[in-house]
Amino acid sequence: MPSLERESASAGPRGRKASVNGSGTPSHAVPAPLPPIPAAKATPQAKPQQLWQQRIYVGTMQQYVVVEIGPTSSAGEVLQLVDAQGALAGGAGEGGYMLWEVAQDFGMERPIRSYEQLADICNAWHSDKMLLNFLVIKRTLLSSPLSRSNLPRSSPIHNGSVQYEYKRGKWQKRWMELREHSLWLSKREGGKDSTFLCSLNNFDAFYMIRPYKGASTKGYSWAVKSTDSLTFFENTSDYVHVFHSNTEAEGKAWIEKILLARSYVLYQERNVISTSAGSALARTTTRAGQRPAQTLVNVGAPKAEGPTVAPLGFEPGSLLAKRLPV
């Protein structure tokens, strides 16, 4: 369970420091070391978890808390911890509280679902941008549709016309479809030239937090960005895809549908389906000599006509020799 420490906003720059609970034995240099004497009984020791201190802002940049989290700490656990300390009392806004990832290096942000692990998010940040990117807690109307209790039972679908930035500063009108929790682009509606853009297995929708350079002043800009590290991509243009919709309503509708489709991937496929499939494929125990209650395959009597195959014979005296009925 993560632990919390409150600090003032003037406590200096943010940093991540890992504190690992482990022990080591000093080594002594000797000319000819003897092999160690084996222990009488080896006692397995639990591998210590790596913990680090993460600054999390609350509402604005004026207040923050420092939370010590580990590899399996989820956003929901951090929210419960901060709320229990009274840091969320009196917050303004509509909806419920959610933890947000702010990727300032790209000028965008997204809500973090309660069951997402924070280590996956923080480890994906570029090491040179660690002082720019941060986590913040704020209210949002997305807290209900993105909650565990409102997970979609099927992957959402959506389509519409968007402006797609295929090259930095270069835009083209495309028909985009969200299906099979993936994004597909084509030149026109119903076109057979549909091409795959990205999968929501490792991409998520992001809101822009500042005007996007090169986009039209009218309409609404938004993006999908990989949740993996930038170092995994040979071509950095494949790491983030920026779109421009004619209206804010159209753009936000795209974001919400993609967020829901990503929720389906995260929970339904990775947790529920994998668990149920593993239990369904478990091997049942059998006993030697146990026979099925009924024949699994009905085999009819051989036809009289047609060639027959002579039974195999064995040399006399062989252990495999068998007296065949006439």
Phi then psi for 206, rounded to 5 degrees?
Answer: -130, 145
Say which DSSP state 261 is in.
H
> pLDDT by residue (tens digit) across 184-227?
999 998 878 899 999 999 999 999 999 888 777 789 999 999 99
Q: In DSSP terms, which residues pair with 64 in a beta bridge?
A: 7, 57
Tokens of 141: 């109307």
The label of the residue with tokens 């209900």 reads: 144
Give the residue from 120, 70, 82, 121 showing the smallest Cα distance to 100.
Answer: 121
CB 151 within 8 A of CB 113: no
Quick one: tokens of 24? 């080591």
- Contact (Cβ atoms closer than 8 angstroms) between residue 101 and residue 95: no
- Residue 86 — pLDDT band, cuts 50, 70, 90? confident
| pLDDT tens-digit series, residues 11-25 | 443 444 333 334 444
Domains along the chain with CATH numbers? 3-14+50-150 (3.10.20.90), 158-274 (2.30.29.30)
Label residues 88-116 b or e (16+ Cβ within 10 Å = b): beeeeeeeebbbbbbbeebbbbbbbbbbb
Per-residue pLDDT at 271: 63
Q: Name the nearest CA neighbour of 112 among 96, 124, 97, 101.
A: 101
pTM of the full predicted structure?
Answer: 0.70
C-beta separation of 56 from 67 below 8 A: yes
